[in-house]
Structure 1
């Protein structure tokens, strides 16, 4: 039994002692260690590391629910947490949406893994070397990135994260697990033009700083002296770094169980809302034999599993915690978090399935093009190659109309060849419409694992060739 599970069991014991057997309680204990090496002006300027163990208690008593948290894990600290939460629950309003506790259930491994079936969650898919990575190991990757940029100004970070967690409740569920992750994100700058390269991995050893630095530098060099283009509808190839933004917005606003129940999501189960080439799977456990990127259970103790959100263009599921599942008349999909009752549960490890490997192509300035995007660019008649999207904001959650800007490199493509760089563009586009039936012209042959805006999110994204993207402005306004 891990130290985290011992703490969780102790809190459950204290709840029974102080609140009585009628109280329902769930406890999450999470040890989180983050180490971050940051660089700017082509030199490391900050190396920080922090490790905290947090305890979160959610208590339901006499029809009321309250939560409390603490970083004090001594017996006195845990007793104080239970006492404070018990005092709070007695003065909170009734909670008619309380969906009860998760019953005892075994954790699983995705069917794609050897040894599928019950699993403790402690060892499978966990890289000890990443969890214990040193500043020197991260610095070596930064040095390789900077050297590979060939004298261009660089900036970014390399980080490692280790999480060990446990869950216990008064219904008898008790599970534990751990995970580790590494990520690198950096830019190179040439005459005011930026190029980017980023990657996430379950093993620090899989991050090649030199390859990432060379990619960022090639993009920056190819993006200097950009021209402006008029507004209008453009055929586009979105590189994986841009597609990650689509997956994030699909997840948070579209496949969110609370939004779905409240009819604020575009998702309509059983309807062909996407092109038949589109399949999206939320995959916290990993299903391709790679180490699992997430914990094997959620903050309500529900075992995590792969969830098919879209299959061959047909929307099949949204993410649920226990509350939204009860409201929708279904079961939790294992997406409960400390904030899911307020913000809604959403997929945090979505993967857009890669397409069949297209015939190879050699577009101009190919070193600046992500590998999986090259064959898509080679068959584009006239359109845009887009590296990255940023500052995206949802204008209408129901149709998922999003506005935002391009970033880190845009190029005009004619007859499969990159002809010139383009200045950054503003767009206003419905994301589901862009991937609607008949509008996906191609999907790259490889899904790339990318870090999300939040530490617990990962996006596996291939390049996308889309028939139309609505450009509404350029760098001049």
Structure 2
């Protein structure tokens, strides 16, 4: 898993150090530079019509250089990691910097700092992050191992048509800058997402994990099939405000939108976010943490540093209903008079830094469905007994933000909605369109219950993970059915 071959530059950290050396050689000591090197190996096993139809894998090493010289900033990238390729990258980036407009917002470089070591993740040195959330077996998973989980999913669906994927990903990364910061880390992740179809009704099951061994294809297939069978022959309901129970798969969409549009430090500084620090904006039962390192000791599929070399750490965004923090890179932190929270990314200067490993803390223990593995326990089910009339919602999709300041979102339900009356599921319901302020839905007094388990789910945007419990909410604004 080396960064290159035949060049004498082998590891990601060595590549980063070589680029720094070349910057000093070609631009002198006045230049400020930071280098990100990332080797990514992604393997995907896809299935449709209950059979594997695609098994693909790719491995690439990318080098990104950001350089600041004479008040001007430019960036460049390459996948050619030979010495000649790296020299060309530096030369091109220098040439771009000389003709780029001045950059008054440049916030400088990250100074040398050791990585944070969370409980359960022993470090191997001051600058090493090689032990963070990393499972060697997942990094080296074979097509046969992914196929085993696909077979188990298909078999457990009991003859229903199935489709989906099982993927594994390995990332080895390094960062170095001309201020002396040099860090490295690696991580591995596995995910499975599948549907079962029954006469036009779909049931879904998905799960992400730091270990492929934690993905139980049979449990996921059985869950998807049970939901598909229960969703057949849906009725239509009129629009209106309904009490709802959102399953973890639906809650993940709330966390994603909170992340990108709410806790984004750039949006906050520009007053385009709903976030008001120190204010009770959520129900007291709500606590939301960004946790790339797994502060509780469990592996987490995150790197221990960001794209500016700032060490990653656990950050409480909401504690018992009170908004406590937003996330920053160095640029937005300087504008806000704050410090970087370790959330810089390749696009954060343009789009803002946002948390990519959100976890909504689970509620008190409740009884799940007997016999189901903990990873896919139906933590929504216990709330149904307390509903006089409401809806159980599996999934939200095609969501679009109408007003970022209040985070009013419109979208559709998907993969199963059911009417609940007097504590019992009575009928499946056709998909509904909604328009709802997400923070308002979780506001003080509006959260009636939080599931006892936060389930780690993959993000369709890539690179982010959301640990979501089920939510029992007082109301949700449905504006029509899926066709209107």
TM-score computed with the length of structure 2 as normaliser: 0.95
Return the match for 2:136 from 123, 128, 132.
128
- 1:418 aligned residue: 425
Distance 1:323 1:54, change over 3 A: same
User: Alpha-carbon deviations, 1:306-341, whole Å to 9, x = none?
Assistant: 000000000000010000000000100000001000
Distance 1:439 1:418, change over 3 A: same
What is the alpha-carbon distance in structure 1 between the residues aligned to residue 11 and residue 240 of structure 2? 58
Is contact 2:244–2:476 with CA below 8 Å preserved after alignment?
A: yes
Is contact 1:25–1:169 with CA below 8 Å preserved after alignment?
A: yes
Is 1:166 matched up with 2:174? yes
User: Alpha-carbon deviations, 1:343-380, whole Å to 9, x = none?
Assistant: 1100000000000013x3779xxxxx952111112222
Is 1:394 matched up with 2:397? no
Return the match for 1:466 from 463, 473, 482.
473
Q: Give runs of aligned pairs for residues 104-119 of structure 1, distance below 5 A.
A: 104-111=112-119
What is the alpha-carbon distance in structure 2 between the residues aligned to residue 282 and residue 451 of structure 1? 15
User: Alpha-carbon deviations, 1:441-475, whole Å to 9, x = none?
Assistant: 00000000000123210000000000000000013
What is the alpha-carbon distance in structure 1 between the residues aligned to residue 368 and residue 42 of structure 2? 41
Q: SS state of the match for residue 13, structure 1?
A: helix
What is the alpha-carbon distance in structure 2 between the residues aligned to residue 84 and residue 187 of structure 1? 47
- 2:436 aligned residue: 429
Q: SS state of the match for residue 371, structure 1?
A: coil
Distance 1:100 1:409, change over 3 A: same
Is contact 2:171–2:186 with CA below 8 Å preserved after alignment?
A: yes
- 1:318 aligned residue: 326
Q: Give runs of aligned pairs for residues 57-456 of structure 1, distance below 5 A.
A: 57-111=65-119, 120-358=128-366, 360=367, 371-456=378-463
What is the alpha-carbon distance in structure 1 between the residues aligned to residue 179 and residue 477 of structure 2? 52
Distance 1:119 1:382, change over 3 A: farther
Cα displacement (A) at 1:415: 1.4
Moved over 6 A (4+): 114-117
Is contact 1:232–1:471 with CA below 8 Å preserved after alignment?
A: yes
Cα displacement (A) at 1:123: 2.1
Is contact 2:121–2:131 with CA below 8 Å preserved after alignment?
A: no
Cα displacement (A) at 1:382: 1.0
Instruction: In structure 2, list runs of 5 or more residues that go unmatched.
Output: 1-8, 371-375
Instruction: In structure 1, list runs of 5 or more residues that go unmatched.
Output: 364-368
Is contact 2:123–2:132 with CA below 8 Å preserved after alignment?
A: no
Q: SS state of the match for residue 372, structure 1?
A: coil
Q: Indicate the RMSD between aligned Cα atoms, in angstroms.
A: 1.6
Is contact 1:361–1:378 with CA below 8 Å preserved after alignment?
A: no
What is the alpha-carbon distance in structure 1 between the residues aligned to residue 458 and residue 236 of structure 2? 30
Cα displacement (A) at 1:476: 4.3
Is contact 1:235–1:384 with CA below 8 Å preserved after alignment?
A: yes
Q: SS state of the match for residue 299, structure 1?
A: coil
Cα displacement (A) at 1:115: 7.4
Q: SS state of the match for residue 49, structure 1?
A: strand
Q: SS state of the match for residue 14, structure 1?
A: helix
Q: SS state of the match for residue 211, structure 1?
A: helix
Is contact 1:108–1:117 with CA below 8 Å preserved after alignment?
A: no
Q: SS state of the match for residue 80, structure 1?
A: helix
- Aligned residues, how many? 471
User: Alpha-carbon deviations, 1:195-217, whole Å to 9, x = none?
Assistant: 00000000000000000000000
TM-score computed with the length of structure 1 as normaliser: 0.97
Distance 1:356 1:119, change over 3 A: farther
What is the alpha-carbon distance in structure 2 between the residues aligned to residue 8 and residue 172 of structure 1? 12
- 2:55 aligned residue: 47
Worse-superposed segment, 95-104 or 114-123: 114-123
Is contact 2:132–2:293 with CA below 8 Å preserved after alignment?
A: no
Is contact 1:113–1:288 with CA below 8 Å preserved after alignment?
A: no
Q: SS state of the match for residue 252, structure 1?
A: helix
What is the alpha-carbon distance in structure 2 between the residues aligned to residue 114 and residue 325 of structure 1? 30
What is the alpha-carbon distance in structure 2 between the residues aligned to residue 446 and residue 216 of structure 1? 19
Is contact 1:109–1:117 with CA below 8 Å preserved after alignment?
A: no
Q: SS state of the match for residue 109, structure 2?
A: coil
Cα displacement (A) at 1:116: 12
What is the alpha-carbon distance in structure 2 between the residues aligned to residue 234 and residue 159 of structure 1? 36
What is the alpha-carbon distance in structure 2 between the residues aligned to residue 31 and residue 136 of structure 1? 23
What is the alpha-carbon distance in structure 2 between the residues aligned to residue 443 and residue 2 of structure 1? 48
Q: SS state of the match for residue 409, structure 1?
A: strand
What is the alpha-carbon distance in structure 1 between the residues aligned to residue 226 and residue 117 of structure 2? 40
What is the alpha-carbon distance in structure 1 between the residues aligned to residue 11 and residue 461 of structure 2? 26
